[in-house]
Amino acid sequence: MQEKVKQWLDRNREDAIGFLQTLVQEGSVQENEEGVQKLISDHLEKLGLEVDYWIPSGEEFLQHPYFCATRTDFSKSPNVVGRWKGTGGGKSIVLNGHIDVVPAGDLNQWDHDPYSGHIEDGKMFGRGVTDMKGGNLSLLLAIQCLKELGVKLKGDVLFHSVIEEESGGAGTLVAVLRGYTADAALIPEPTNMKIFPKQQGSKWFRLKVLGRSAHGGTRYEGVSAIEKAMPVIEAIQKLEKDRNARVDDPLYAKTPIPLPINIGKIEGGSWPSSVPDEILIEGRVGIGPQETLEDVKAEFEEAMSKIDDEWFGKYPVQIEWFGAQWLPGSIDVEHELMGILQERYQEVLGTAPEIEASPWGTDGGLLTHVGNTPSIVFGPGVTAYAHYPNEFIELEKVFQAAEIFALVVYDWCGGE
């Protein structure tokens, strides 16, 4: 089977590269996913899968406690799921990939058009090619390969092409609520071919630090919100240090800060000659695989309430949890799918895989906690190139991942 898969991938290499280029050329930023999802839907239909193409909506979805998005209108942002129905008696699997990409940013920092799919030295360049259209193609190739080799699977295969992962996972949430779950899942986020059985979650926060305005010439009559923000930042740094001191998971051994608390934005003040009376601090707190969103929020809020400054007794730091969030997720490292993935990885690449914990969030948390579908994150792209100018992926890694995925699906679902 391994040799048949490899030969099929070699025969279909050029067509596959061309299809990936077409996917990249559809710049599927938020509210512009319709074109690329139509391509995916048509492709799945050609492969003979049962295809569900729908606009996410409904009260159960929009009012769900884990709904997280910057909008509620998804009329130009369809979700797509393809089902390969098994013959029965086997385990099912979700192959989940998000189709949305972040904006290209400053075009002057790109050597080529970010939506060209330019190919050079065995690499394809373009926004979203590593995060994560290259990984999605690996999944699609695995399905196509098995189908064209005449394989019959006992268990169902569900391919998710979802929106909104970059804003918190609304696409995967609505797919799960629609019933598209399975016994386990694979998510080809850019891990540089490392296996992540555990995925960190995260949540955005906004802090309002108050001061008292005064003329800059008599600033001693006021209270600078900037100066009061300093002990707040110090409290955040201490909390990060304390939280990470408790981390003893060996899968985080190579990660310098397993659970980062990032301060990403500070703004405030209204006039150079006025003492600023308000500062806003926005950031992101990491959530460990074994933690809950609620517990981490409570610990953060407690740290903000205990800042040693009399001013905050009268004017406490105001905390708002807003915007994006990603639930943490994990699968037992002894899970059967982990064993199959490691074994097939060894056979294809001739070396044992590196196993670590994800330093960022994925849709695996939603699949695990809402869909009862334990998930493994493993893919061909490199995180360091995601969201960056000149984002690229090594094409050879895409085909290596496809070969591994095909064999894993064959083993897990029960191939005939």
The answer to whether 213 and 303 have CB atoms below 8 angstroms apart is: no
Is residue 100 part of the annotated active site? The answer reads yes
| Separation of alpha carbons 159 and 231, rounded Å | 48
| Separation of alpha carbons 315 and 210, rounded Å | 7
Q: Which residue has the tokens 């905390």?
A: 319
**Which own/partner pairs from 295-301 qualify as long-range (CB within 8 Å, at least 24 positions apart)?**
296/203, 297/203, 297/321, 299/239, 299/243, 300/205, 300/239
Catalytic residue among 100, 166, 183, 403: 100
Q: Where are the beta strands (DSSP E) in 211-317?
A: 261-268, 278-287
Catalytic residue among 26, 52, 156, 165: 165
> For residue 49, which phi and psi values (nearest 5 degrees)?
-85, 155
DSSP structural state of residue 159: E
Give the chain's length. Answer: 416
| Dihedral of the alpha carbons of 18, 408, 84, 180, in degrees to the nearest 10 | -100
**Positions marked catalytic:** 100, 165
